[in-house]
Structure formats: C-alpha cells, structure tokens
Amino acid sequence: MRPKWDEYFMEIAEVVKKRSTCLRRQVGAIIVKDNRILTTGYNGVPPKMSHCEELGCLRQKLNIPSGQRHELCRALHAEQNAIVQAAKYGISIEDSTIYITSQPCIICAKLIIASGIKRIVYSGDYPDELSMQMLNESGVEVVNLKY
C-alpha cells in the first residue's frame, strides 16, 4: 500500500539515522515543507572532528543517564544538524514540519520553536517532560507516530 505522507517521511528519517555515529542512540531528522524535503540531519559530531565511534563516549564512561548533561556530549542532535543545514544554505524552514525518530529533548525543542517549525512528527520516546510542556505551550503541533 502507498504510505501516507507522515509515514513516508518517517521512513526516510529512519534511513537518515543510519548515518549516526552516536554509540548510545541513533536519531534521524528531516525537515519538510509542502511535501518536499528541505534538509536532513543525524546525531554526530561537527564536521572535521573525530567521531564518538573512534574516541568513545564520555557520557557513557561517566554513566550519565539518557536525557541528562547534554553539554558533555561531542555530538549535535539530529534536529540541530537539520536546522544548522538550513541556516548554512539559506533555506527557510518557517512553517515546516520536522520528522524525528525520537521525541526531541528540551534543547532541540527550544531550537524548533525559535526556528519557526510549526509541526513535529516523531516515533520514539525520550525522557524529557519539559520539552513536551514547552512545545505544547508554544503552539507547535506534536504528533507521536507510533509503529
């Protein structure tokens, strides 16, 4: 059967996450407007830096639980990378939809709100209630696409 648009773009986000170099959680994101892909992103370190696969994960070494102490991670999140790509190449993401293979964290939620993205579709859970509270307060539509 032909997938609906949300399913179609989420399947693409699942493929994008395969590029992730994170040792703990692989996440993919794509930003879409008018059913056209604008940018993609996966979690990994900034360009020209050694990947966590090569150096190891500090958060893992320190036994930091998921959702805590983001500042100790070398990587950018998938959502951050997708938003950065739009900024780098001058692509407006105002009123777009972001598809993410995991619920966004609070840092990514704030970036999504500030960037003008109007809708989030995600498929995986993440332990961050504050992110969902802020997204709801901001008026960003949030859809949990459960498989």
108 is an annotated ligand-binding site residue: yes
- Low-confidence stretches of the chain (pLDDT beneath 70): 147
Structure tokens at 81: 């990378």
pLDDT at 29: 98
Given the residues 53, 54, 71, 79, the one annotated as active site: 79
57 is an annotated ligand-binding site residue: no
Bridge-based pairing state of the strands 28-33 and 97-100: antiparallel
Q: Where are the domains of the chain?
A: 5-144
Q: How far is CA 122 from CA 22, 55, 59, 63, 87, in A?
A: 19, 29, 24, 26, 22
pLDDT at 147: 62
pLDDT at 52: 85
Cβ-Cβ contacts under 8 Å for 113 (sequence gap 6 or more): 134, 135, 138, 140
Is residue 54 flagged as an active site residue?
Answer: no
What CATH architecture applies to the domain 5-144?
3-Layer(aba) Sandwich (3.40)
105 is an annotated ligand-binding site residue: yes
The pTM for the full model equals 0.93
Task: Write phi, then psi, for 51 (nearest 5 degrees).
Answer: -80, 155
